[in-house]
Homo-oligomer: A and B are copies of this chain.
């Protein structure tokens, strides 16, 4: 039997009947913000981590998986993304990945929780890696839905990087057909979006399948992906939607070529081969998506963990 070395643990309840325990070495920062409980912890296995409301959001060791899957497939699905909008994205790593695309001239991130962003800048500097200081970046602290309702700007790519929908939080209105409709209106003609869509664990596919089905009401192209982000304790889903282009038609060579010409630096997770891995799914997940008929609406919202 494997013997524990840690005496101090972060206990992340994935559901009322399942939890993942992380040995911790330090509590770097904790704060009850206006919106959520934030914790920055040093863990034995995953380095420095951010948790919100008791749930692991990202870790230094494997955040590259989450952020590359979230950002790059969507960015490459657009032929030349210049203006990008980020909903949420507190830690700055989503912004960091977006700014690696040479075509980008404007990246506007709107997060409701200024305290999380500020603490991330201070305590998680590797996440943003200078993204907040990039001259192409614009940062606002407000409800992203309201922002999109009030603006008439258009964006080539919109990345939605928010927590899961829970009853206590405002995030659930960023998962509805009405919101996605609004998003399409703020996208240019070849616009694409991507978002994290909750766990893909067996028996817990409601989040991914409902998001997929809801997006299918307003986008012609919808692609769900699965990634293993070990610090999450469960496999995770992501969904990409596009007004025109379908990334499933890209060959591995094309993806490698696009990355080479459009992206600065070295990616760690995503390339042509990984694109194949991303564009395909196990049969039971595809089947669950195909069978899902629920459309998330403002009046019929999805609440995870209910």
Contact = CB atoms under 8 A, between A and B. Distances in A.
Interface in A81-124: none
B277 A280 contact: yes
B23 A21 contact: no
B9 A11 contact: yes
B282 A65 contact: yes
A251 interface: no
Contact of A7 (B1, B45, B201, B235): B1
A34 to B, nearest CB: 17
B13 A233 contact: no
Interface in A258-274: 267-271, 273-274
A61 interface: yes
A30 B25 contact: yes
Copies of the polypeptide in the assembly: 4
B230 A20 contact: no
Interface string A1-41: 11111111111111111111111111100100000010101
Nearest to A277: B280
Contacts of A246: none
B281 A279 contact: no
Interface stretch (A48-56, A143-151, A209-217): A48-56
Nearest to A275: B280
Contacts of A4: 3-4, 11, 13, 16-17, 19
A228 interface: yes
A283 B305 contact: no
A104 to B, nearest CB: 22
Counting chain B CB atoms within 10 Å of each CB, which of A44, A200, A228, A267 scores highest? Answer: A228
A27 B55 contact: no
Given A44-B18, A54-B2, A277-B281, A203 B61 contact: yes
B16 A19 contact: no
Contact of A284 (B16, B268, B284): B268
A291 to B, nearest CB: 13
26 contacts: A1-B53, A2-B15, A2-B16, A3-B3, A3-B13, A4-B11, A5-B17, A7-B10, A7-B54, A8-B10, A9-B11, A11-B21, A18-B22, A19-B20, A20-B21, A24-B27, A25-B30, A65-B202, A204-B230, A227-B282, A268-B284, A271-B283, A273-B281, A274-B282, A276-B279, A276-B280
Given A18-B44, A273-B281, 17 more contacts: A1-B13, A1-B55, A2-B14, A2-B54, A4-B11, A6-B11, A9-B11, A17-B44, A21-B21, A26-B30, A202-B230, A233-B233, A269-B282, A271-B283, A274-B281, A274-B282, A276-B280
